[in-house]
Structure formats: C-alpha cells, structure tokens
Amino acid sequence: MSHKITFTMIKPDAVADGHIGAILGKIAEAGFKINALKLTQLTVADAKKFYEVHAERPFYGELVEFMSSGPIVAAVLEKDNAVEDFRTLIGATNPAEAAEGTIRKMFARSIGENAVHGSDSDENALIEASFHFAGKEIF
C-alpha cells in the first residue's frame, strides 16, 4: 500500500457550490481509483482533532468552524505515487497561486475555503483514512 494511497475531502464550500460531481470527475480522469467514499459532516470536535497540527496557527479557529459548517465528501484514493500526484492535481493552498487546470484553481473560493484536502505524506494518508473510515468501508 505504501505510496499508493491518499486521503481527500471535498470541503464544505465545494459541496455547497455543487462541485462534487465535477471534482470526482477530475479525480477519476487523473487516474485515481476510489477505494472509499462518503458524504458526511465533521463535528467541531472532529475538525479540531483532524487539524490539530495547525492548533497554533492564527487561522485554526476559522478552519475548524468552516470544516464543520456543512457536509463534506471523504474519500480514499489509490494510484502509484498517490500523495504527490494528488497534491499536484489540487494545486497550491491559495487558489490565487494555484496552477491553471488544478482543482483549487477551478473550484476554490479562497485560501481558507479551498475546495479540497489532500494528505501531505503516506503516513498521514493512512492516519486520515482511518480517522474517517472503518476498515470494512475501504475496498
């Protein structure tokens, strides 16, 4: 499984803006296989825990509030070099700096409300996948 799995969320802004289908389409087109998928909503406690590495950052409160504000789509994706290739597909954190054709360039509202999450390491991909999915939900 090493180097093959990443975890993503379609964030509340992109779900509210009606972009679930288009974003899943871009993900499939880029060659990722979907191993787990669900529409769900983070509680404030879930969002605090998921983003606890950012607890000292000035935007943490805003991030927790936003990420728990509405439904998200959580997914586990499989592809060779999944973590790096998915981060290339989504683009820079700030959509104003994201490359043309990236998911954030196309669908994000702002640096905070930036449409999608992508794991930043193989280790975090596994931690984040198991935060959201039971073993029997990952195929």
CA distance 26 to 121: 21
By C-beta, is 25 or 61 nearer to ligand ADP? 61
Residue that the structure tokens 């930043």 belong to: 120
Let me know if 132 is a catalytic residue. Answer: no
The piece of 17-25, 35-43, 72-80, 106-114 that touches ligand ADP (CB under 6 A) is 106-114
CB of 54 to ligand ADP, least distance (A): 6
CA distance 40 to 48: 16
Q: What is the crossing angle of helices 122-132 and 82-90, to 10°?
A: 80
List the interface residues with ligand ADP, window 85-104 (CB under 6 A): 93
Residue type, 89: L
Which residues make up the interface to ligand ADP (CB under 6 A)? 54, 59, 62-63, 93, 111-112, 114, 117, 120
